[in-house]
Structure formats: structure tokens, C-alpha cells
Amino acid sequence: MLLLHEEPFYALLEPIPLRKTPKPPVVPDKVQPDRKDALVYMADVYRGPGLKGVPRGTVKKLRLFTYQFAYHGMGGQVNRVGLDGPWDVKRIIGAVPVESDGSAYFRVPANTPISCQPLDGEGKALQLMRSWMTAMPGEVLSCVGCHEQQNTTPPNRRTLAAARPPSEITPWYGPTRGFSFKREVQPVLDHYCVGCHDGQKAAPDLSPRDEVHPKAKSEGYNKGTKFSPSYMALRSFVRTATIESDIHLLTPCEVHADTTRLVQLLKKGHYGVALDAEAWDRLITWIDLHAPYHGTWHEIVGEAKVNKQRDRRRAMDKLYAGLDEDPEAILDFGFRILDSGAARKPEPTVPEARPKADIFARQPSIQNPMAEVRGQRPEVRNGAPAPQSKIQNPKSKIVELGHGITLELLCLPAGEFVMGDPNGHADEQPLTAVKVDEFWIGRFEVTNEQFALFDPTHDSRLENGDFLQFSVQERGYPVNGPRQPVCRVSWQQAMAFCRWLSAKTGMTFTLPTEAQWEYACRAGTATPMSYGPVEADFAKLANLADATLRQVDTFGWSLPSGAVPPWRPAIESVNDGFKVSAPVGSFASNPWGLHDLHGNVSEWTRSTYKPYPYRDDGRNDASETAPKVIRGGSWYDRPHYARSAHRMSYPAWQPVYDVGFRVVCESPPKALIAAGAPQPQ
């Protein structure tokens, strides 16, 4: 060391050269404290895995909502916002547009947690954002796409949104407020539903009645909140994520509104009910927000427990965040039917009775439906199956796929049958006599192990469990076992598998048409199910919604079986032994030797969804632009929704949690194996 200078208590021991340098640049402030808003820029909503497979142009808007987080000493599992979630009160803000190139540029309130949901043209969420972002005043937040990795680079192009001023939020029927079932949804039920669903009949009671505690064995988990009976009834028809469901990124459209039984029933024209646009929007928004009931915390735990914290939180929000609002305020901008541009008070509507029997009631079966279609007088006998015709000397073939995995085909003879159901939904009529040529069809649904030979990256995943998760086992119920039917595949993926299979085997594989599928399912019967009426005990015949579906499991911590009541619609008198999909072939075959055409998973057909009468009008062309028909129902469906004639549809690009497929072969296989060929195990 070198002593340069010394004074009492100080010594300079090291020389440090000094020189004049320019002042370094100062990073400009990214916030403007005097503003109450901020900007958000999204480069391309289709970038990233969140909307993988969703066609460009599908997303039209982003729904924006925020949260009112629980005050100290409340919330969680006891003071629940809804039956099985959501965790916190959700406050609806509004929506902003998304450009055709996937870009968006919009204003948001500052210092406010914001969640976004990409909406299709009908205002239905295609994906869920289960976190939030918060922008400081005047800040510009940006993201590349939907659930993209943090190091994803933005597209090297000028986007449409960047070339215009930022969008203002279009409010959702009024100012930002907590989403409340009784204020936002119950008025819709009052107008459209309570004329029939009034609590005086066997149908679910949707009338406005006093709130009650859920009925489950653990009072500690059910005495801390109340719901209306109409909420509990309607909630049972909506499949959503649960209060602590799988935190992994969801498949696009995993809980899309169209996958719920409520929307499916209404789209089929439930007893003539036709909702207007606002009524649809209110129901869909409720579903997309995780089907909440309460819109404020004081409505759950009482004002006495909330008021002191309510005032303190408001004071802190105003002091540190510049927010001056009361999330606990009740704002009622109730649903109104517009008549000639003027609002009128909604009145309960009693739809006209449909000219057909109650679809849930026991129906007589037609012994000779072909005669009815051809204008003859059929003989009718109550509930008895039509004569079943087994195939004489059936032909079958085992197709080797490699790695010890096989695919079994059965040959169905040419024939004629009546397509449709006189007691079914409107889209199953009029009945049509259809001739079918001989064709080969898979004895079983395509399995996960078979599909993995084509796409080893595909994962059929699992079905969420109820309530909380404290272990991997509680994450849910696997549907990705090797012998379980593949699911969460789109029609496009199913057709791609068929093309791969055709190239691999030299045969011509495709999906069955609607007519081929129903012909195979009926197997010469005329009853709603190939095994008889919908009331029949299906325990050994089909994997449908039964007692196991309603069962809430008990784990090591003695819950959640007592925390939430069984709520999923099912036939409790039947136990088929499977909560979700079963290994293919676990249930008895139909008269023609085919398995799982009723239940297990619904199945894609090649046909475009069009009205009946069924005809060769181009509906069976392999076009990807129109919705495609699914058939058969799944483990989540009651028998009525798994009838031989029951029809549903989804876009060709959409993967669905309970939809798989089976294949048909249009070119005759060369080598045939006689009846009784060994079935793959």
C-alpha cells in the first residue's frame, strides 16, 4: 500500500484516477402517476400453446375481469363463492376487440389485477387465464400471445392493432361489478324457465327461492356459505374447473360453454325456448367465470365481519393505488327483454308444449319403424326391444400396427334401417329410411396406445377431481391409459390418424358417416339403445353417467367427500364401476359384436352437422370448414344422451374432453379371419 495523505482518523492509501465524464443517459419513467389507466398490447393471441390448433380468425374479443380478493379471516374452502369454486369473487369489466391477425391494443384500469379470456364469435371463452396481470398508471404492458414462454420473440411484422389508437373497454351491461348469479343469471331464468321449472314438477326447480346451505356431511365446510336452489340445480349442468383443479395449462376449449349439458340442451331448442342475445351472453359469461354464485364477500359472511376491513381496504386503495371504488357495493343492472327498443319487465314464459312426449319419460318402441317411415301403420309395443338380428358367419380381421399393437375390424353387411328417433330431439327428425353398403368398422374405439403410434406427443390427460388437491393422486382421474379410448382429439386429428393408417396398411381408412355409425350402433334394433329402453340397467352394457360419476372420493385427510355434495347428473341406481373412460371392451358388445357405441367416449363421424332428412347432399365430404357430428355419448352422459339416434356437433378443429373415434375401412381387407377371432387384451 502507498500512503498518499494522512489526517487524524483518516488515511488515503490507494490512488484513484479521476476524470471528467459525461452524464449517463437516464431511463425515462415508464409510469405516469397522474393517470388512472394503462395500456396493454398483445402481438398475436394465437402464438403460444394456449390456443394451439385454434384457427386464425376464431378469436373476436378478449373478455376482461378482475378480482375482489377475500378479506382476512374468510374465503377459502368454507366461505365459498360457488359450489366448487371459484376461489375469489370475480368482477366483470367488459370486452375489447381482437384484430384478424390476432393482435389487440387496449386500455385497462391501472393498479387493478386483470385477467383475459379469448372469446369466439358467440362470446364463449376458448381458453382460461387463471392468473392475472397488473399495470401501473400510464404503463404499457405487452405480451406475445396466449401462455407463450417468457423468451418468445414477438412477430417481425406490423400488426393491425399497433396501427390504430388503443381500444376502450366496452362495458358488460353496466359498470364493473362482482358477478352475482342472483342478479345476472336468475332474471334470465325468471323470464325463460320458471314457467315450467317452478318447483311444482319433477323438473329442476329454477325459481327464485331463499338461499340454503349445501347438503353434505361435513357441516364445517358447508355452513359457511349459502346458495339458492336454482343455482344448485343449474350448476349441475355445467362442467367447469374445480376450486383447486389441475394447474397445468388446459387444452384449448377444455371447459368451453358448448361442452356443457346446459348449453347443449338449449341449443337443441329445449321445449321451444329461444334465448335472446343478452340472455345467452349472461349464461355463457357465468359459465366462463367458473359458475360463481356470490358477487360480494358480505353476502357470504355478513356485513359485520366485512365492514371494518372493507373501509380499511378502500382507504389503502385510495392512498397507494389511486383507486376510489367499493367492490362490495351491490349494483343491480338486471336483465331486460327489449321490445321495440323499449325495456319491459320480464315475465315468466311458459313455452308451448312440443308435439312429442317428454324426452325423459318411458316411451313405447316401434316394432316396425320402416313401415312407419313408408306410411304404413306400425305395431307399437311398450318398452320392448325390436327383434335383434345377429350376423351369420361374421367376418373379422386383425390389422397389425407394430410393437405388438393391433386393430380389429368387423364386416357389417349391407342393409336398410330407419335413421332418427320419433321421440328424440328435433334434429333427429324426420325419420329417414337409409340404405347402407357393406363396410368394415373397428370393433373398439381407437385407444391411446394405438393413437400414440401416429402421434406419440398426444396426451388424453385426466378428468379433474373434486374440491382440493393435496397429492398427485388427487389431481384427477387418468383417461390416458394405454387401453382407454383416446380423447381430446379433434376431428382433424382423427382424420389425420385415418390417413396415416391408410398409408401404413395400404387399405383405405376414414371415419364412419352418421348413417354408418347409427346402423352399426343399432345392430338391427329399433329401441333407443341397442340393448333396450333408456331405463334399462346398463351396468354391464355401457359406461355411462352412473353412481361412480356422482361419487366424491375420500382421501387421507377425510375429504373432499364431505365438503361438496354429489352434484353431477347421473343414474344413481346403476353402478358400472368406472368414473371416467374404461379400457375398450370392458362392457358387453351389441348384437353385432361391437363395443362401446353407447358411452365410454363420444365418437367423431365423418359427417357435417346438417338437418334431417338424412341424404347424400355433401354432408359426408371431408370438408374441415363446418361442424362435425359426434355420436354415442360418453361416461359423462346419462342414457338419453347416448341413444343410437342422439346427435351433437363440434367444430372440426376442437378437441373435446370426452370425444374420441373409431375407424371404418372402405377397401375390403384381403385376408379374413372367421368369427371368434381373438380380441386384443
**Exposed / middle / buried, residue 361 (Cβ in 10 Å: 0-12, 13-18, 19+):** exposed
pLDDT confidence tier of residue 41, bands split at 50, 70 and 90: very high
Q: What is the average per-residue pLDDT within 145-162?
A: 88
pLDDT tens for each residue of 279-290: 999 999 999 999
Q: What one-letter code names the amino acid at 441?
A: I
Whether the per-residue pLDDT at 313 is higher than 70: the answer is: yes
Higher pLDDT, 669 or 343: 669
pLDDT confidence tier of residue 374, bands split at 50, 70 and 90: low
- Distance from chain centroid for Cα 565: 21
Instruction: Give residue 370's pLDDT.
Output: 56
Instruction: Give residue 98's pLDDT.
Output: 98
pLDDT tens for each residue of 489-540: 999 999 999 999 999 999 999 999 999 999 999 999 999 999 999 999 999 9
Instruction: Give residue 354's pLDDT.
Output: 41
Q: Are strands 37-42 and 140-143 parallel, antiparallel or unpaired?
A: parallel
pLDDT confidence tier of residue 649, bands split at 50, 70 and 90: very high
pLDDT tens for each residue of 44-58: 999 999 999 999 999
Instruction: Give residue 670's pLDDT.
Output: 58
CA–CA separation, 426 vs 405, rounded Å?
42
pLDDT confidence tier of residue 372, bands split at 50, 70 and 90: low
pLDDT confidence tier of residue 346, bands split at 50, 70 and 90: very low
Instruction: Give residue 223's pLDDT.
Output: 87
- Distance from chain centroid for Cα 589: 29
Q: What is the average per-residue pLDDT within 127-138?
A: 93
pLDDT confidence tier of residue 219, bands split at 50, 70 and 90: confident
Q: CB 136: neighbour CB atoms within 10 A?
A: 16
Whether the per-residue pLDDT at 671 is higher than 70: the answer is: no
Q: What is the average per-residue pLDDT within 11-35?
A: 88
Mean pLDDT, rounded, of the chain: 88
Q: CB 647: neighbour CB atoms within 10 A?
A: 21
Q: CB 283: neighbour CB atoms within 10 A?
A: 23
Q: What structural domains does the chain harbor?
A: 178-344 (no CATH), 391-665 (3.90.1580.10)
Whether the per-residue pLDDT at 677 is higher than 90: the answer is: no
For cell 484513484, what's the residue?
A: 16
CA–CA separation, 20 vs 14, rounded Å?
20
Higher pLDDT, 653 or 680: 653
pLDDT confidence tier of residue 341, bands split at 50, 70 and 90: very low
Instruction: Give residue 669's pLDDT.
Output: 58
Higher pLDDT, 526 or 339: 526
Instruction: Give residue 475's pLDDT.
Output: 80
Instruction: Give residue 218's pLDDT.
Output: 81
Whether the per-residue pLDDT at 225 is higher than 60: the answer is: yes
Instruction: Give residue 121's pLDDT.
Output: 97
CA–CA separation, 422 vs 614, rounded Å?
14
pLDDT tens for each residue of 388-409: 567 777 899 999 999 999 999 9
Q: Where are the beta strands (DSSP E) in 522-613?
A: 602-608
Contact, 454 vs 500, CB < 8 A?
Answer: yes
Q: Residue 41: CB partners within 8 Å, gap ≥ 6?
A: 103, 104, 105, 140, 141, 142, 143, 161, 162
Instruction: Give residue 661's pLDDT.
Output: 99
Contact, 199 vs 207, CB < 8 A?
Answer: yes
Q: What is the average per-residue pLDDT within 221-237?
A: 93
pLDDT tens for each residue of 529-576: 999 999 999 999 999 999 999 988 887 766 677 888 889 999 999 999
- Distance from chain centroid for Cα 248: 16
Q: What is the average per-residue pLDDT within 428-433?
A: 96
Q: If you ran DSSP here, which 8-state letter would residue 482 be given?
A: T
Whether the per-residue pLDDT at 676 is higher than 50: the answer is: no
C-alpha cell of 578? 368406472
Higher pLDDT, 364 or 228: 228
Higher pLDDT, 132 or 361: 132
Higher pLDDT, 247 or 126: 126
Whether the per-residue pLDDT at 590 is higher than 90: the answer is: yes
Considering only CA atoms, which of 312, 323, 482, 513 is closest in space to residue 412? 513
- In angstroms and rounded to an integer, the radius of gyration of the C-alpha atoms of the chain is 29
Q: What is the average per-residue pLDDT within 217-246?
A: 89
pLDDT confidence tier of residue 359, bands split at 50, 70 and 90: very low
CA–CA separation, 85 vs 290, rounded Å?
7
* This prediction's pTM: 0.88
